[in-house]
Structure formats: structure tokens, C-alpha cells
Structure 1
Amino acid sequence: MTLFADLHRAAEPLLLPNAWDHASATVLAAQGFRAIGTTSLGVAAAAGLADGASATRDETLRLALAVGSEPYLLSVDAEDGYSDDPDEVAEFARELECVGAVGINLEDRLGPVALHAAKIAAVKSAAPGLFVNARTDTYWLGDGAETDERLDAYQQAGADGVFVPGLTEPRRIAALVSHLHVPLNILYTPTGPTVPHLADLGVRRVSLGSLLYRRALGAAVEAAADIRAGRTPRGATPSYDEVDALSRRGDLTHSDGP
């Protein structure tokens, strides 16, 4: 975990792009991103399953197995750990660590604070090398109430960092940074603060979440519409051979990207 943890203390915040398969993770790493996250929405959508429903445990583990041993650092979005049993969550985390993941993201879904804290503590006991990023959904699913109290409990349980998606108000971000003693992770949104602004506020990790996956879907729809209308599709298009090579484990030879 040391190298990944160190990235949260570097001069610039860790900008973490989120991949949904081996090719997307590898092409992002080829662009110089030292650490890659996974997006639970992308994993779920690719499998035809609902996101946030604890339905993608096997798919998430398979993705971690495919990319966890690659020459970049992998942090896995594990939703709520796929169980309300802290021991089962800890076992899943141990499996992730065994296949090469260096981080895990666990969300509370505004459930009981004590339960989420117990999951964090169990994970740190079973897989001490994993960087546990404890997410609270106080802004994602609520009005921001209880944010400090929840994050305090998660810090005390052993979380290495905390994640507050949906929080975009600069003053509140700065106040939260001052309150915490672990790195704060914010979800980037095109309508929120820029990465340099977040850095100035003290944010140490900026995640892209499902944004890249959704942008990829949007680009596919635009390309299909252009072709139907007799126009040449716009934007970069990796060749067949490039994608085929990037989809193979251990291949980072196409470092010039798409």
C-alpha cells in the first residue's frame, strides 16, 4: 500500500481515472496514470446488472484478477462490500489483495454508521496492505447531514482515506479538509471545481467515477449517428490492432495511446 498511499501525499492530488475492463485500464495507464480505479457502474452495465445493488461481486473480482497484476496500481470500487457481514466483506478484500489490488472503495449508502465502521475495521484486519477509501453518501443520497460524524467514525475504524461524492461547494470542501486527518477524495464533475481548484482546497484525491464510461457510450452513440447521417465520425479512433494488443494482459507497448 505504501506507494499508493504516497500518491495521496504528493505535490499534486492523485487524479484517479476509473476503468471498466482490461483495455480501458491499460490504455489509461499507457497515458501515464500511475493508478487506476474501477467504476462500479461500468462493471455492472457491462454485465447487464444494476449498480449499487451488491450484484457484481464476481464480475468485480474477475476484473481485479485481470488487471491487478499489471504494472500500474489498482483500486477497486467494491460498492458496499457486497455484504452486510463484515467478515464476508473482509474476505472479499483479502481476495482483492491476493490478486494485486492496492486499494478498495467502500460506500455506506447512508446505512448504520457502526456497520460501515465494522466493515472498515474488518478489512484492515484481513488485508492490512489495502488502502481503504471509506465513502459516505451524505451528499450523494442526502443533504450533507452527518458527514463529519460519519467520517470521524470511519477514520477511527482505520480508513486510510475518505470519499464524499456529490460535495462540490468549495467552502465546505475546505472546512472538511481541515477537520480530517486522512486524505479527502472528491468526485470530479464538469460543473464543479476544477482539479487545480480542488488541489488549492486541500483535496488529495480526485476520482472520475463513471464519467469516462458514460463519455465512451456518448461517443459511440454520436459516431453511429454520424455514420447514419453520412458524416465521418469525429474524435480519436484506436485501430483494431491497438485495441487487440491493449486487451491482452501485460501489454503496455502502445504507450502513445489512442
Structure 2
Amino acid sequence: MSPYEQFRALHHRPGTPLLLPNAWDHASAAALAEAGFAAIGTTSLGVASAAGKPDATGAAREETLQLGRGLARLAVPVSVDIEGGFGGEPAEVAELAADLVRAGVAGVNIEDGRPGGALAPVTYQRELIRAVKEAAPTLFVNARTDTYWLPGHADETAYRLSAYEDAGADGLFVPGLQDELFIATLTAKYETPLNVLYAPGGLTVARLGALGVARISLGSLLFRAAVQRAVELAGAVARDEADVVGVPTYDTADGWAGAYGV
């Protein structure tokens, strides 16, 4: 199967949601693939922050696209978070999507949240999704709505998801959603797979799968945890208390480049 077909199939396994870890660079993606994860996504926060740029502003456009093209050489399907399309008009975003498909990328994540806490007009977002699907019909488009992240917009969720499904989205993503009853309502309402962001201390992977969720993303969690662990380890070294058991060797880390055909 093509990367797109593999990726799509991973969203259609009732009761067994795709757990999608999100990488921020080549090494983290290669390590996750090596660990056996069936597909890899990117985290816009991780990519932008690692480049010293703010998230969700389009500032990390080039870093994101460069990373996506490189990750496409992995043996597993890769989905790239392109924020809201990096500020381009639908035709420009569609061209970007077609370029990613040519590179071998299996999917993209497109959000309707905008800098400053606003949501893109539904008509615009629908046009954007439709343009991307027309230019790149094999690309798995995960349409994200930020209605649960922005105060006062939760009641728009179903309306926006319906509009994005009608526009041709392959997946529907509602980060911040943890309401069991509403999740079950959405998975029953839509044939399009539902994606939920994992929340530490919230609903478990097993419970989300039982509710019909098809994909569970880890978002920026792994990036933030890696930074925390690095700081903690540096502090432990300073106190002469470092425990580095299980840390990959130099040769292991250097060998991850081979996952890209380098």
C-alpha cells in the first residue's frame, strides 16, 4: 500500500485507535519509528520552539516543510502539522499540500484557530480544505477545530465538523475535548474518523477507543517532556546524581540518520 493508504487504514480499526506520537526533529521521529509506532506526526510547537520561533503564527513554515520532506523517507506514514496553512490563500496552501504529497508525506493537520484567539470563518476553512483535497486527493487531511481550546466556542463544534467533513476532510480533530458523552455523540454522528488529543490524567487510550475515537495524538507532550528531562538530567549531573541508564548511545543516535536514506 502507498503511505496514504497505510495511514488511512490505521484510522479504520474499530476499538483500536491510532496512537500518533508527534516528533519535532529527525532524531525524535526516527527513534519513535524505531520503537514500533505505526505512524509519526509532527508537533508545530516543538518544531517552532526548537527553531526559536513562536507557534501558530506561520513563522516556522520553512522548518516545518523541510522536516516533513525529510521525514517522508521513513518506513512509516508521516503526517505534518501545517498550522492554519501558514497564512496563505487556499490556492497557495493547496500547492504546498501537493508538494508534500510529491515528497511522500501521507497527511497534514490543518487548524481553524488563528493568532489572537479567533477562529477562521467556516466558509474560508471549508474552501481551504476543499482546495487542498482537489490539489492533493491522496493526502489525508485532518481538519482540526479549536472550539474546545478557545473560550465560548464549544457549541460550534458539530457545525464546524460537519462543514469540514462536507469539504472532504479525511479526519476530524477536536483538541481539548474530554467529554465522554459528546465524544460518543460525535463518533456516532460522523463516518469520518474522530481524532482527540491525549490529556495526561484524562481519558485513557482504552476508554477513548471504546468511545469510538479513531486517532489519539500526543501533540507537544513528548517535546515538552524531553526538554524537562534534559533540564532535570543536567541538574542531576551538577549534583553528581545523574542516572543515565537506558540513554541511547552516541552510535545509536548517530545511526538514526540512516532512517532517511542518508
Paired residue for 2:116?
A: none
CA contact (8 A) 1:162 1:182 kept: yes
CA distance in 2, matches of 1:67, 1:3: 16
Paired residue for 2:18?
A: 14
SS in 1 for 2:109: strand
Which of 8, 19, 37 lines up with 1:5 in the alignment? 8
Once the two structures are TM-superposed, the CA of residue 203 in structure 1 deviates from its matched residue by 0.1
Q: Between 135-144 and 159-168, report the one with greater CA deviation.
A: 135-144
Which of 35, 42, 65 lines up with 2:39 in the alignment? 35
CA distance in 1, matches of 2:249, 2:33: 18
Letter in 2 for 1:121: R
SS in 2 for 1:168: coil
Letter in 2 for 1:120: I
1:165 aligns with 2:168: no
CA contact (8 A) 1:74 1:101 kept: yes
Q: Which consecutive segments of 4 or more residues in structure 1 shift more than 2 A?
A: 233-236, 247-252
CA distance in 1, matches of 2:242, 2:49: 28
1:89 aligns with 2:93: yes
CA distance in 2, matches of 1:45, 1:236: 26
CA contact (8 A) 1:66 1:249 kept: no
Once the two structures are TM-superposed, the CA of residue 57 in structure 1 deviates from its matched residue by 1.4
Which of 222, 226, 243 lines up with 1:233 in the alignment? 243
1:128 aligns with 2:128: no
* 1:44-63 correspondence runs (5 A): 44-63=48-67
CA contact (8 A) 2:73 2:261 kept: no
Once the two structures are TM-superposed, the CA of residue 2 in structure 1 deviates from its matched residue by 1.7
Once the two structures are TM-superposed, the CA of residue 248 in structure 1 deviates from its matched residue by 3.6
CA distance in 2, matches of 1:140, 1:240: 40
Assess, with a 3 A threshold, how the Cα gap between structure 1 residues 240 and 88 changes in structure 2: closer, same or farther: same
Letter in 2 for 1:64: G
Q: Please give the TM-score of this superposition, normalised by the length of structure 1.
A: 0.94
Residues 231-252 of structure 1 deviation map (CA, whole Å, 9 limit, x = unaligned)? 0235631111110111344369
Q: Between 40-49 and 171-180, report the one with greater CA deviation.
A: 171-180
Q: Please give the TM-score of this superposition, normalised by the length of structure 2.
A: 0.93
Once the two structures are TM-superposed, the CA of residue 180 in structure 1 deviates from its matched residue by 1.4
Paired residue for 1:256?
A: none
CA distance in 2, matches of 1:234, 1:187: 30
Residues 115-148 of structure 1 deviation map (CA, whole Å, 9 limit, x = unaligned)? 1111100000001110000000000123412000
CA contact (8 A) 1:84 1:115 kept: no
1:243 aligns with 2:247: no
Once the two structures are TM-superposed, the CA of residue 83 in structure 1 deviates from its matched residue by 2.0
The percentage of counterpart residues that share the same residue type is 51
Residues 57-93 of structure 1 deviation map (CA, whole Å, 9 limit, x = unaligned)? 1111100121112211000001001124100110111
**Equivalences, count:** 252
1:155 aligns with 2:158: no
* 1:138-153 correspondence runs (5 A): 138-143=147-152, 144-153=154-163
SS in 1 for 2:143: strand
| CA RMSD of superposed structures (Å) | 1.4
CA distance in 2, matches of 1:87, 1:250: 30
Letter in 2 for 1:9: H
CA distance in 2, matches of 1:68, 1:112: 31
Residues 142-192 of structure 1 deviation map (CA, whole Å, 9 limit, x = unaligned)? 341200000000000000110000001211111111121200000001121
Structure 1: give runs of 5+ residues left out of the alignment.
253-258
CA contact (8 A) 1:74 1:103 kept: yes
SS in 2 for 1:146: helix
